[in-house]
Amino acid sequence: MANISPQGARVLSWIDEHREEVIGFLQDLIRIPSVNPWFTTDGEICREGEAQALVAEKMKALGAEIDLWEPDPADLARYEGHPGYYADHRFEGRPNLAAVVRGTGGGRSLLLAGHIDVVLPGEGWTRDPFGAERADGRIYGRGTVDMKGGVAAMIMALEAVLRSGLRPKGDVTVGTLVDEEAGGMGTLAFVDRGYGADGCFMTEPSGLMVSPLCRGILWGKLTVRGRSGHIEMPQGDWRDGGAVDAIDKARLFLDQIDRLNRDWKDRKTHPLQPTPCQVYVSQIAAGEYPTSFANRAEIHFNAQYLPSEADEKGRGTAVQAEIETFFRRVAETDPWLRENPPEVEWLIDADCGEIPGDHPFVTLCAESLRALGVDPVVQGSSCHTDMGWFIRRGTPTVNFGPGDPRIAHHTDEFVEEEELLTATKAMTLALVDWCGVDEA
């Protein structure tokens, strides 16, 4: 697609003429605080259902067939042991949405997918996190990057085609999903319901890079036990009942994690990934009183794994076993830890996915950017996205969306207006070329 077709030029003109509608739709999404309830019990900001109603209204106006349903963990119990299944997640008032625009026939189908939930705003904002404020060419708010910017862009890309008097030849499905920020059960429910396509944009923020893969993510907690005692008093040998400082023992693991990461840096790499997989310590909690040695220390960590390391179900079980073996060997170097080994609890296994970097859909996405004068970059996503289930069910998927992924979950999160519009245009051109179009 070296040149822009007349149909492509028509939809690009529509986007230029309606740029305020593109931006306004994102603002409408941001103003609904659709925080995933996994992070809070504050029902006032857990309004995923309201955000889905807004999308449903928009898609219904475009003539789409609407399927709005609340995932049922009991019905999905057959997926126990697979990525994305959590028996204790609840979906009352948290529906998934699939909106299908039927094609005229003869074209390839396309799925436009993104999650509607966001994380808590947190502290330190200088702007209203749900105010959708515009300033200096930016739109601010929780979810502008992760990932309502992508959701707005993909929906407005489809609207641009339809409002320009064109109709895709292949079916186009818009999927807005819940629960991604807590493990991806919404996506599991979506593919279980039978949705898929010949190609898919997962519109996670990529900074306009075309990402044909993402890494898997493991959240784990290592609990190191000690024995409390008065911190100001001399302590005897632990074998005689003396105190054992859990913080001191935890330090041993922290030091050895640094060594593990040096090893992983040399061997857990991918040609399309800018950084190697690592084990990052994200939280440390220890101790009870200022006058007592810590009885317990908890180390939360985030470990990444590559698609080549996933098991037959798409999970990172081999990497879990590798980390458990590593912790066990560290414990064997210390007499107390040998007799009181630490415990590892696995909290989340967010799966990975990959399609070839030269897949026709990847090439099409890159050419769409090139047609807009943007030099395309094909690079893997360093963080998890929900692309894995789509790929395993036969839908070639790329991550592509507006926003710097490093700004996701930040205070004063923002997306550049021009990047939002460029993403919308690129997906519009890709839709026209991938699906084909007829005059409406």
Just list the catalytic residues: 117, 180
131 Cβ partners below 8 Å, 6+ apart?
A: 30, 31, 140, 141
Q: What's the sign of the alpha-carbon dihedral 419, 51, 168, 6?
A: negative
Number of Cα atoms under 13 Å in the Cβ half of residue 292: 12
Q: Are strands 138-140 and 216-225 parallel, antiparallel or unpaired?
A: unpaired
> What is the rounded CA–CA span in Å between residue 228 and residue 226?
7
The alpha-helical segments, DSSP class H, found in 164-310 are 185-192, 246-267
Answer yes or no: are the C-beta atoms of 426 and 365 closer than 8 Å. Answer: yes
Six token digits for residue 303: 């470990």
Tell me, what amino acid is at 322?
E
Q: Are strands 172-177 and 96-101 parallel, antiparallel or unpaired?
A: antiparallel
> What is the rounded CA–CA span in Å between residue 382 and residue 379?
9
Number of Cα atoms under 13 Å in the Cβ half of residue 213: 21
Give the CA angle between residues 65, 48, 213 to the nearest 5°.
Answer: 80
Six token digits for residue 213: 């893969």
> What is the rounded CA–CA span in Å between residue 261 and residue 278?
6
By three-state DSSP, how is residue 319 classified? helix
Q: What residue has token string 């911190």?
A: 231
